[in-house]
Amino acid sequence: MVVRALALLLSALPCTAATIAIDVGHYLEAPGVTSAHGRVEFEFNRDLAREIDAQLQARGRATQLIGAGGDLNSLAARPRLADKAALFVSVHHDSMQEFLLSTWTYEGVERKYGDRFEGFSLFVSHENPGWRKALRCASAIGAALIRTGFKPSLYHADKKVGENRPFADRTNGVHYFDRLAVLRNARMPALLFEAGVIVNREEEKRMADPEVRARIAAAVVNGIEECMP
């Protein structure tokens, strides 16, 4: 509670050149994918972004948490709000192509799910002027996640099942993804992080576990510390 209270206090301070901007992917009116058990992605994103934000601040990093209120509906505006930040990290949770999904009934409601893939993915864009630095940070985050015991999903590079996003760093689960508004409108190095596949019924449970979330956040922070000394 003390760490979170400190995080809220520090996040209200002006953004500086050393600030790490943490973006909560999606918003209340367009909350992203619905998980296999019926929870919207925005809620997963907000929980993890807050955890990353708190852990960064606990290590003495200045941060700016963006979109936690759920009312920021402009993707282009998000990186502009963090215009003076040193790094922009957009936090998301993953799905799959529609044809890979099946249906099941959970608590009397028919839901979509897909248990074929699991794991994290990271994305950078050539349209981001700081993409080389973003790639170094994405690779460092991916490596830290792997050291912690998490695995990259890798399926996004497949032409048929994963949208054909070429690898920027296959070993550490990093892909190129141009045309992403939140990355192409960022002036600072920017990356997008898909923490796990929440249409996967077992992975969704892991993503909702506070202990797992804290481990993911710690790995992300370790990666940021490595690439932003």
SS3 assignment for the chain: CHHHHHHHHHHCCCCCCCCEEEEECCECCECCCECCCCCEHHHHHHHHHHHHHHHHHHCCCCEEEECCCCCCCCCCHHHHHCCCCCEEEEEEEECCCHHHCEEEEECCEEEEECCCCCCEEEEECCCCCCHHHHHHHHHHHHHHHHHHCCCECCHHHCCCCCCCCCEEECCCCEEECCCCHHHHCCCCCEEEEEEEECCCHHHHHHHHCHHHHHHHHHHHHHHHHHHCC
Residue 223 confidence class, pLDDT cut points 50, 70, 90: very high
**pTM above threshold 0.85:** yes
pLDDT of residue 153: 98
- Residue in 145, 146, 169, 167 with CA at minimum distance from that of residue 156: 167
pLDDT digits (tens, 9 = 90+) for 135-190: 999 999 999 999 999 999 999 999 988 889 999 999 999 999 999 999 999 999 99
Tens of pLDDT, residues 200-209:
999 999 999 9
Instruction: Indicate the average pLDDT of the chain.
Output: 93
Q: Read off the pLDDT band of 18 (50, 70, 90).
A: confident
Share of the chain above pLDDT 90, in %: 89
Q: Are 39 and 33 in contact (CB under 8 A)?
A: no
- The pLDDT of 206-220, averaged and rounded, is 98
% of the chain beyond a pLDDT of 70: 93
Predicted pLDDT at 11: 41
Q: What is the phi-psi region of residue 10: left when phi exceeds 0, alpha when psi lies from -120 to 50, beta otherwise?
A: alpha
pLDDT score for 152? 98
- Phi, psi dihedrals of residue 84, rounded to the nearest 5°: -100, 10
For residue range 62-94, what is the model confidence (pLDDT) as tens digits? 999 999 999 999 999 999 999 999 999 999 999
Longest dimension (CA), the chain: 50
List, for residues 88-109, the tens digit of each pLDDT value: 999 999 999 999 999 999 999 9
- What pLDDT is stored for residue 229 in this prediction? 79
From 7-16, 43-52, 64-73, the region with the lowest mean pLDDT: 7-16
